[in-house]
Amino acid sequence: MNEKITRKNPESLPKPVGNYTHITKIPKDAELFVTSGQIGVDMDGNVPYDFNEQVTNTFINIKKVLESEELNQDNIIKVNIWATEEIDWEYFYSKWDELFGSEYPAMTIAYITKLGLPELKIEIELWCAKV
């Protein structure tokens, strides 16, 4: 049986208030991958002050971590986002769409006071599955 990852928004629930899916289901034999939170650091270890520059670097790092395991947007089943500043959703979704398109996984977003290092403003963790 060739099962695949499926995403759905049950009609019994309100529509998502953002770009995410209420339920992402993986087949029982899928291989699971969980990333550490990806942050806005560049290859030289620099973290820009600007929030959107950190978003850009974070998405670059997400792409690299996915590619390291031969994963892509279709493999993402859950995203957890933590931010210390209000997210510029127009900018954020433009970066998201460049990398992932419009297939949105399950997602949780939280605004918090601090991340692991004082200069960090956003961190994104991915849960992925390969069928």
pLDDT of residue 2: 63
**Could you tell me the residue ranges of all domains in the chain?**
50-131
| Mean per-residue pLDDT of the chain | 93
Mean pLDDT highest for which of 15-24, 29-38, 101-110?
Answer: 29-38
Number of Cβ within 10 Å of residue 71's Cβ equals 19
Element (H, E) at 54: helix 51-68
pLDDT tens sequence across 63-116:
999 999 999 988 999 999 999 999 999 999 999 888 878 778 899 999 999 999
> What kind of fold does domain 50-131 have according to CATH?
60s Ribosomal Protein L30; Chain: A; (3.30.1330)
Whether the model clears a pTM of 0.85, i.e. scores above it, the answer is: yes
Residue 128 neighbours by CB distance under 10 Å: 25
